[in-house]
């Protein structure tokens, strides 16, 4: 692959943890194949450039005000970023191109589908582009039908249809549709149209695995007339890539070292979800009453009306004592790989889902919004490696779910199934496996560009 490193790739990640993570992992993988990498990122949620000394970082002015950044309307932020960043990204690319030597040509822009302005600029500048979808193939299949369902009066979903199967998209029910909880429904659907129109892009990359999503991947191959590369799980292909936006508390690993094999339930609802005080209390007492050891991630500011756990019941703290460990953020991949962890209570973001499957850890599924609901349905009813927590969080339900997963035959059967999936993933990323094959094809395509 002589001189390949001179062919520059501009990678444009979405500005949220679940989007930055796979893009920076992809960058690490491509760097290992000899490509030079520039990460073009927004000012909002900028990644730590010092953690990636092998990349060049290019900050795109995004024009977001402090008020907009604090706004919980994530869809509004995405739409605003795509408007604000188009001209500034064009200017950055033009300036960069003017200062390049002839051998340093930008040969491709790989962009997260949520920052679709990148494709428009690439098209105008006649630079090849490739889209990265950070959700799974099943979500990508179902999202484009949301507009049609709204036109038919099925969205917003009436209570009478929540349990009704979505035609042609089993195992999904209408309640599992990947809708957003943030901002205007019309804005969300407008964004879906823009994100899922690949326009002039040369290919699509998915952080997924053929053995997990063979049917939806086959449908995608029929829908899109461009190559599709399911090269996941990216975190296994780039295990050293440090991408956390929050400070990780590694002290929890020392606590895990003192626990017995498969004894700990790990609880983390991701980087965006929020809880109210009642939900916090019911989760806490459900965990306490289960009598099982737990490691619980509670982000500062994620509890409405409280900075952290200052409002938590003192009786709960006394009850769990050394049996519980609560941290502000955890090194999740290390936690899930730890011998003491036997279950994961998760929001079912796609990165968390892949990380749990790859370590053979069954899940309690509490999806909050978007693709998390699709992931949870597949975990519980397609792959059968998860328990679903439905409805309001209630301590009795929590206690039963934790006990079932950690102590009962049903949980042990899930553990065996997820270990089987773990093995299939290892085969996929090994020599001759599907992910390895698709990665080789992607490298060939990028080289040809």
147 near 193, Cβ under 8 Å? yes
Q: Which CATH superfamily is domain 251-426 in?
A: Glycogen Phosphorylase B; (3.40.50.2000)
pLDDT of residue 190: 86
- State how far the Cα of 348 lies from the Cα of 270, in Å rounded to an integer: 8
Tell which residue, 14, 224, 228, has the closest CA to residue 114.
14
Q: Do domains 4-243+432-448 and 251-426 have the same CATH topology?
A: yes
Residues 292-344: pLDDT tens digits? 999 999 998 888 777 787 778 888 888 898 899 999 999 999 999 999 999 99
Task: Give the number of C-alpha atoms closer than 13 A to the C-alpha of residue 338, restricted to the C-beta side.
Answer: 26
Residue 9's pLDDT band, with cuts at 50, 70 and 90, is confident
**How high is the pLDDT of residue 317?**
83
Q: What is the mean pLDDT of residues 119-144?
A: 94
Helix residue ranges per DSSP H, 146-276: 146-151, 185-195, 214-223, 234-237, 251-257
Q: Report how far apart, in Å, the C-alpha atoms of 447 and of each of 58, 100, 105, 201, 260 are.
A: 23, 19, 12, 16, 49
Which residues touch 382 (CB under 8 Å, ≥6 apart)? 171
Distances (CA, A) of 180 to 155, 176, 323: 12, 11, 36
Are 120 and 111 in contact by the 8 Å Cβ rule? The answer is no
**pLDDT given at position 220:** 94
What DSSP assignment string belongs to 92-157? HHHHHHHT--GGG-EEEEEEETT-THHHHHHHHTT--EEEEE-S-HHHHHHGGGHHHHHHTT-SSP
The strands making up 8-12's β-sheet, listed across from edge to edge, are 56-60, 36-42, 8-12, 106-112, 129-133, 203-206, 228-230
Q: Give me 68's structure tokens.
A: 């907009």
pTM score, two decimals? 0.93
Contact 58, 38 (CB under 8 A): yes
pLDDT single digits (tens) 193-213: 888 888 889 999 999 999 999
Q: Of 440, 422, 438, 443, whose CA–CA distance to 137 is shortest?
A: 438
Neighbouring CB atoms inside 10 A of 18's CB total: 20
23 phi/psi in degrees, rounded to 5 = -65, -45
Q: Average of pLDDT values for 62-89? A: 86
Residue among 59, 51, 54 nearest 37 (CA): 54
Contact in structure between 244 and 17 (CB atoms under 8 Å): yes
- Write out the two tokens for 182: 């943030």
Residue-range domain boundaries for the chain: 4-243+432-448, 251-426
For position 437, what pLDDT does the model report? 97
What angle (nearest 5°) sits at the alpha carbon of residue 354, between those of residues 155 and 206?
A: 70
Q: Does domain 4-243+432-448 have CATH number 3.40.50.2000?
A: yes
Q: What is the mean pLDDT of residues 272-289?
A: 91
């Amino acid at each position: 692959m002589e001189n390949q490193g001179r062919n520059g790739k501009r990678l444009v990640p979405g500005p949220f943890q679940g989007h930055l993570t796979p893009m920076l992992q992809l960058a690490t993988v491509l760097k290992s194949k000899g490509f030079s990498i520039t990460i073009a990122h927004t000012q909002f949620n900028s990644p730590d450039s010092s953690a990636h000394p092998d990349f060049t970082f290019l900050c795109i002015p995004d024009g977001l005000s402090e008020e907009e950044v604090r706004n919980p309307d994530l869809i509004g932020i995405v739409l605003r970023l795509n408007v604000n960043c188009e001209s500034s990204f064009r200017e950055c690319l033009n300036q960069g191109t003017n200062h390049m030597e002839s051998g340093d040509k930008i040969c491709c822009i790989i962009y997260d589908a949520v920052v679709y302005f990148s494709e428009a600029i690439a098209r105008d500048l006649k630079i090849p582009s490739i889209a990265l979808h950070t959700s799974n193939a099943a979500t990508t299949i179902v999202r484009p039908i949301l507009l049609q369902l709204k036109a038919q009066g099925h969205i917003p979903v009436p209570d009478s249809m929540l349990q009704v199967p979505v035609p042609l998209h089993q195992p999904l029910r209408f309640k599992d549709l990947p809708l957003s909880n943030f901002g205007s429904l019309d804005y969300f659907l407008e964004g879906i149209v823009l994100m899922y129109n690949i326009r002039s892009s040369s290919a699509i990359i998915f952080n997924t695995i053929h053995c997990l999503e063979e049917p939806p991947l086959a449908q995608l191959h029929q829908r899109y007339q461009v190559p599709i590369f399911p090269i996941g799980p990216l975190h296994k292909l780039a295990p050293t890539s440090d991408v956390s936006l929050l400070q990780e508390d590694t002290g929890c690993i020392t606590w895990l070292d003192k626990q017995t094999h498969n004894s700990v339930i790990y609880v983390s609802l991701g980087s965006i979800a929020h809880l109210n005080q009642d939900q916090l209390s019911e989760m806490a007492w459900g965990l306490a009453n289960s009598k099982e050891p737990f490691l619980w991630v509670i982000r500062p500011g994620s509890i409405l009306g409280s900075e952290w756990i200052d409002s938590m019941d003192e009786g709960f703290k006394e009850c769990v004592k050394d049996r519980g460990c609560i941290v502000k953020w955890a090194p999740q991949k290390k936690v899930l790989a730890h011998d003491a962890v036997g279950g994961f209570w998760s929001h079912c973001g796609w990165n968390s889902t892949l990380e749990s499957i790859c370590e053979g850890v069954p899940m309690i599924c509490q999806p909050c919004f978007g693709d998390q609901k699709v992931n949870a349905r597949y975990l519980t009813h397609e792959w059968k490696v998860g328990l679903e927590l439905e409805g309001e969080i209630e301590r009795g339900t929590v206690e039963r779910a934790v006990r079932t997963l950690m102590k009962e035959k049903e949980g042990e059967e899930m553990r065996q199934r997820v270990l089987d999936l773990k093995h299939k993933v290892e085969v996929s990323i090994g020599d001759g496996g599907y992910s390895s094959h698709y990665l080789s094809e992607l490298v060939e395509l990028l080289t040809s560009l």
